[in-house]
């Protein structure tokens, strides 16, 4: 079992267990399976550009390499901001008390580029926080499932079905004037994120 | 920029450009001050996968791994994988020379197969002659964020002065009412939005904001509700 999410509201800690919420777990899913002429499922593989190797499942791996082609060990990996400043590792927040900030506006939640969603089950929850969530208030906290160089933003909210946490990075759109310059044409390949991979 | 065909509650329609709203890029990874990147490479040959080795050595696999390193193909291992093409192998492990037939398998939330059928292509519906249109479903912003997970957001952009006024008016009306309006496709306004052939079907809500600078009209897309997982 993962460590709990511990949230502090008005100096009182509330503890939650978390469970990832995914579309396939709620609604099921569709898969498209290629079949051969006998109706048997085909095996998907990759053919290298030179046509020499067929890469089957289990034959490939990935790793970090520097610009000289040297493979880098995980312990050597760091990160830097766009202006070249080295970033500190942000440790996992699981099991570590995080203060709740807010309540926040729903527009702030709409400005979140959501990367994951968790259903939270309260081991303990303060009466005040429970009342606040029931009334529809939304709270912000810092969340990192694993240690990373980037801290994620989380929003705690509730509805009739339970308590949930939305995790992601803020992504704010600009206000447009009449003479606003359109952004540069999106790069080719952007479309791929809209493809339903369950269909492939 | 891509385009969608939108009609408001008064059936006024226009072709509108849009862009995806994205967070800033993640920080660059470095090692010893040098930039690094993630690359794929070959880790085992076809005859060296766990499955192949189990077939070849059976119970003596452990011993063989210790004595003769059969898991390593020195010719192949470490070879970088650059561009590849997808191929399919039939049940005799031969490469198919023609496109395979495809069946669509339906799985329930527990992963159990419930149906199997011929796939039907999902056609895009956002920039057709029939515009995507406002439905009668409106939610205030607080209710919307507590009911749906919005995993993609598109910002609508004007093309000219007329579409500026059109989009500004929609944004202002939604901003003033603190509401989001659902937009949908199809004759009966029941269809989710599909942006490309066999793309994900999305439920879409327009949200508007205005300030002294101008307007911000966002199309929030969701394919997930905030519901309890089945126990």
Residue numbers of the domain that contains A159:
1-22+89-172
Give the total number of structural domains in chain A.
Answer: 1
CA distance B27 to chain A (A): 5
The yes-or-no verdict on residue A39 having pLDDT over 70 is: yes
Residue A50 lies in a domain: no
Q: Which chain B residues are closer than 8 Å to A196 by Cβ? A: 122, 198-201
Residue A77 lies in a domain: no
Q: What's the average model confidence in pLDDT over B166-195?
A: 95
Going by pLDDT thresholds of 50, 70 and 90, the confidence category of residue A91 is very high
The rounded Cα B181 to chain-centroid distance in angstroms is 22
The yes-or-no verdict on residue B183 having pLDDT over 90 is: yes
* Boundaries of every domain in chain B: 2-24+122-225, 41-80
Cβ-contact B16, B2 below 8 angstroms:
no
Cβ-contact B157, B164 below 8 angstroms:
no
Q: DSSP characters for A177-198?
A: -TTPPPPPPPPTTGGGGGB-GG
pLDDT at B67: 86
The beta-carbon neighbor of B220 closest among A45, A86, A110 is A110
**What fold, for B2-24+122-225?**
Ku70; Chain: A; Domain 2 (2.40.290)
Which distant-in-sequence residues (6+ apart) come within 8 Å of B33 by Cβ? Answer: none
What does the mean pLDDT of chain A come to?
Answer: 89
Q: What's the pLDDT tens digit per position in B10-51?
A: 999 999 999 999 998 889 999 988 899 999 999 888 777 787
CB-side neighbour CA atoms (13 Å) of A26: 17
Residue A52 lies in a domain: no
Going by pLDDT thresholds of 50, 70 and 90, the confidence category of residue A194 is low
pLDDT at A182: 77
pLDDT at A186: 53
Report which DSSP code applies to A199. G
Cβ-contact B230, B109 below 8 angstroms:
yes
Q: What's the pLDDT tens digit per position in A154-180?
A: 999 999 999 999 999 999 999 999 988
H helices then E strands: how many in chain B?
4, 13
pLDDT at A198: 47
Is the backbone of residue B68 left (phi > 0), alpha (psi -120 to 50) or beta?
Answer: alpha
Going by pLDDT thresholds of 50, 70 and 90, the confidence category of residue A14 is very high
Q: What's the average model confidence in pLDDT over A73-94?
A: 90
Residue A76 lies in a domain: no
Query: Which B positions 206-225 lie with beta carbon below 8 A of chain A?
Result: 207, 209-211, 213-216, 218, 220, 223-225
Question: Structure tokens of A103?
Answer: 């309540």
Q: What's the average model confidence in pLDDT over B138-143?
A: 96
What does the mean pLDDT of chain B come to?
Answer: 92
CB contact under 8 A, A33 and B20: no
pLDDT at A137: 97
Q: What's the average model confidence in pLDDT over A35-52?
A: 90
Residue A27 lies in a domain: no
The yes-or-no verdict on residue A197 having pLDDT over 50 is: no
CB contact under 8 A, A64 and B28: no
The beta-carbon neighbor of B44 closest among A32, A58, A183 is A58
pLDDT at A134: 96
CA distance A13 to chain B (A): 23
């Amino acid at each position: 079992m993962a460590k709990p999410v511990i949230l502090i509201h008005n100096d009182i800690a509330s503890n939650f267990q978390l469970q990832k919420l995914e579309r396939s777990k709620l609604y099921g899913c569709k898969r498209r399976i290629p079949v051969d002429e006998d109706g048997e499922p085909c095996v998907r593989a990759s053919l290298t550009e030179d046509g020499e190797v067929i890469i089957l499942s289990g034959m490939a791996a990935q790793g970090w390499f520097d610009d000289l082609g040297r493979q880098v060990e995980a312990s050597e990996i760091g990160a830097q901001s766009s202006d070249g400043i080295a970033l500190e590792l942000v440790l996992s927040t699981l099991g570590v008390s995080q203060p709740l900030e807010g309540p926040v506006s729903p527009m702030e939640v709409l400005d979140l580029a959501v990367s994951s969603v968790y259903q939270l089950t309260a081991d303990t929850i303060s009466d005040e926080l429970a009342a606040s969530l029931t009334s529809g208030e939304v709270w912000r906290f810092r969340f990192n499932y694993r240690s990373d160089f980037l801290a994620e933003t989380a929003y705690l909210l509730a509805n009739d079905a339970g308590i949930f946490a939305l995790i992601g990075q803020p992504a704010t759109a600009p206000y447009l004037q009449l003479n606003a310059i359109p952004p540069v044409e999106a790069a080719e390949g952007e479309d791929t994120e809209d493809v339903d991979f369950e269909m492939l | 920029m891509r385009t969608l065909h939108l009609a408001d509650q008064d059936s006024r329609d226009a072709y509108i450009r849009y862009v995806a709203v994205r967070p800033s890029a993640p920080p660059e990874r470095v090692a010893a001050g040098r930039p690094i990147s993630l690359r794929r490479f070959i880790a085992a040959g076809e005859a060296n996968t766990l499955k192949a080795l189990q077939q070849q050595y059976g119970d003596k696999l452990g011993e063989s791994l210790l004595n003769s390193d059969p898991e390593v193909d020195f010719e192949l291992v470490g070879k970088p994988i650059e561009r590849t093409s997808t191929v399919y192998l039939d049940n005799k492990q031969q490469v198919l020379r023609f496109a395979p037939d495809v069946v669509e398998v339906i799985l329930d939330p527990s992963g159990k197969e419930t149906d199997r059928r011929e796939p039907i292509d999902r056609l895009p519906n956002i920039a057709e002659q029939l515009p995507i249109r406002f439905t009668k479903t409106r939610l205030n912003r607080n209710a919307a964020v507590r009911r749906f997970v919005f995993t993609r957001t598109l910002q609508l952009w004007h093309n000219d002065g007329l579409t500026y006024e059109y989009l500004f008016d929609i944004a202002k009306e939604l901003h003033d009412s603190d509401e989001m309006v659902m937009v949908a496709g199809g004759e009966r306004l029941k269809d989710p939005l599909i942006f490309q052939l066999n793309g994900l079907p999305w439920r879409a809500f327009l949200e508007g904001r205005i300030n002294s600078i101008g307007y911000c009209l966002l199309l929030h897309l969701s394919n997930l509700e905030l519901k309890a997982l089945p126990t």
